[in-house]
Amino acid sequence: MAGKATTDGPDIGTGRLAVAELAANFDDVKPPLDANQALIEASRCYFCHDAPCIEACPTGIDIPNFIRKIASGNLMGSALDILEPNIMGGACARVCPTEVLCEDACVRNASERKPVRIGALQRHATDWLFERRIQPFARAPSSGKRVAIVGGGPAGLACAHRLAMLGHGVDVYEARDKLGGLNEYGIAAYKVPDEFAQREVDFILSLGGITPHCCKAFGRDITLTGLRRSHDAVFLGLGLAGVNALRAEGEDMAGVEDAVAYIARLRQAANKASLAVGRKVVVIGGGNTAIDIAVQSKRLGAEDVTIVYRRGSKQMGATAHEQEFAQTNGVKIKHWARPVRLLGWPVNGGGKRHVREIECEYTQLDDKDRLTGTGDRFSLLADTVFKAIGQIFLPDPLRAGGAEPLDLSAGRIAVNDDRAASLPGVFAGGDCIAGGQDLTVRAVQDGKTAAHAIDRYLRS
């Protein structure tokens, strides 16, 4: 292990693990099923009538049907059953928390507590199609209409694909230099290895009719007013650009990092050994981002990684499966505690300090079920503290250029069932809308639903 002892300063180092070990740590966390495994697993599906798994899927994939087609060797038909309702069925097969969605609903849970591995089967079918570079969809005759999509994440791409299928021209504007959104910049690397996110983007774009415009920031390079003028409709798939504050004393010191930004750097780093990681890492938060940064820190070579979450296991945003995954990766989860203050090392004799220790207070629920501190405290040594306490929607770019205001609800864009926002011809979906759920599959459903609503709007 590189780096200094923690007695005389922060121990942040690169290349803590050998290249081969790093490669293994960031390789496919769930290897794909081979043909025989897929056949055996597919045979476990009962082909339920009115299957509960379908209802549990936000995009309504006909799961028993696609599984039956795997069993019969009709992989093309199977992949179509998945991709027609969910163009990002490949990503969802990898990143969906199936344990709380389709697989939780599987009737095999009732009979033997072992659901059909729907996610793995979905990957099997979609991989088959991607490996053959088949674009199974075709575009309807051109409508002559043009739609602007802001945000190249799952919501935007799903909307773009469906609109292009329906015959409309689509411009996708993305602030970063690649499309894919959280699949490219946010999901843990070992869930989507081998450039899967870009392969999926290529698959979507191969339909035709979708023009990507990367490095175009909303509110800076493009505005809602401008897009409403230049296009026949606008879809906003903006995601969440802000990060919640810790509200702990000293959180502005060096070594306190935004987990989302670090994961984005990690995802883009071709050489994982080039990433600096602390020896002692503390993660504040309880969602999937907290799990992802904790496990990835561990897999980069951090020695002690502790998640501190202010409530209990049941209240964590991360599923039980994800929590267990973190724990089996050697991450410690401390429940019922919140950060109070950070103590630091002086850096180069200047006024700036680098975190050395985080002081936390135990929490509990009072008799009105409100979270309160108990007054008891404990300290954890830390040379890196990751903030993973949720992201927030930043509405300012919506107003850039003096645009008419868009109604918000609970701090995010208000939409109706069609994902139509309060201005005519403006639609929105994904995490930026009220009720957004931090789920790829939900964002895909928003994009698809909005595309059909936009189609009706454009043809009315």
Partner 1 sequence: MADLGTSFAGIKSPNPFWLASAPPTDKEYNVVRAFKAGWGGVVWKTLGLDPPIVNTCSRYGAHHLNDMRMVGFNNIELITDRPLEVNLREIKAVKKAWPGRAIVVSLMVPCEEKSWIDILKRVDETEADGIELNFGCPHGMSERGMGSAVGQVPEYVEMVARWCKTHTRMPVLVKLTPNVTSILGPARAAKKGGADAVALINTINSITSVDLDAMAPTPTVDGKGTHGGYCGPAVKPIALHMVAEIARDGLCAGIPISGIGGIANWRDAAEFMALGAGTVQVCTAAMHHGFRIVDDMIAGLNNWMDGKGYREIGDVVGKAVPNVTDWQYLNMNYKTLASIDQDSCIQCGLCHIACEDTSHQAIAATRRDGKRHYEVIDAECVGCNLCMHVCPVQGCITMVEVDTGKPYRNWTTHPNNPMSKQ
Q: CB nearer to partner 1: give 72 or 372.
A: 72
CB of 125 to partner 1, least distance (A): 16
User: Could you say whether residue 52 binds partner 1 (CB under 8 A)?
Assistant: yes
Of these, 33, 42, 63, 342, which contacts partner 1 (CB under 8 A)? Answer: 42
User: Which range binds partner 1 by CB under 8 A, 40-48, 116-124, 196-204, 262-270?
Assistant: 40-48
220 phi/psi in degrees, rounded to 5:
-115, -60
CB of 54 to partner 1, least distance (A): 11
CB atoms within 10 A of CB 430: 35
210 phi/psi in degrees, rounded to 5:
-115, 120
Of these, 20, 110, 138, 270, which contacts partner 1 (CB under 8 A)? Answer: 110
The residues in 120-149 that bind partner 1, with binding defined as CB under 8 A, are none
User: Could you say whether residue 39 binds partner 1 (CB under 8 A)?
Assistant: yes
Letter for the amino acid at 233?
Answer: A
User: Which range binds partner 1 by CB under 8 A, 105-113, 177-185, 223-231, 362-370?
Assistant: 105-113
Q: In angstroms, rounded to a whole number, what is the distance separating the alpha carbons of residues 133 and 360?
A: 52
Instruction: Return the half-sphere exposure (C-beta side, CA atoms, 13 A cut-off) of residue 363.
Output: 18
CB of 36 to partner 1, least distance (A): 8
User: Could you say whether residue 40 binds partner 1 (CB under 8 A)?
Assistant: yes
**Tokens coding 198:** 């870009």
Closest CA to 271 of 297, 300, 302: 300
3-state secondary structure of 80: helix
Mask 322-361, x = binds partner 1 (CB under 8 A)? ----------------------------------------
Q: In angstroms, rounded to a whole number, what is the distance separating the alpha carbons of residues 374 and 371?
A: 10
User: Could you say whether residue 111 binds partner 1 (CB under 8 A)?
Assistant: yes
Q: What is the dihedral of CA 354, 357, 362, 363, to 10 degrees?
A: 10
Count how many residues are written for the chain.
460
CB of 44 to partner 1, least distance (A): 9
3-state secondary structure of 427: strand
DSSP per-residue letters across 354-376:
EEEEEEEEEEEE-TTS-EEEEEE
Q: In angstroms, rounded to a whole number, what is the distance separating the alpha carbons of residues 317 and 384?
A: 22
CB of 110 to partner 1, least distance (A): 4
User: Could you say whether residue 113 binds partner 1 (CB under 8 A)?
Assistant: no
Q: CB nearer to partner 1: give 46 or 378.
A: 46
Mask 54-83, x = binds partner 1 (CB under 8 A)? -----------------x------------
By CB under 8 A, name the binding residues for partner 1.
36, 39-40, 42-43, 46-52, 71, 107-108, 110-111
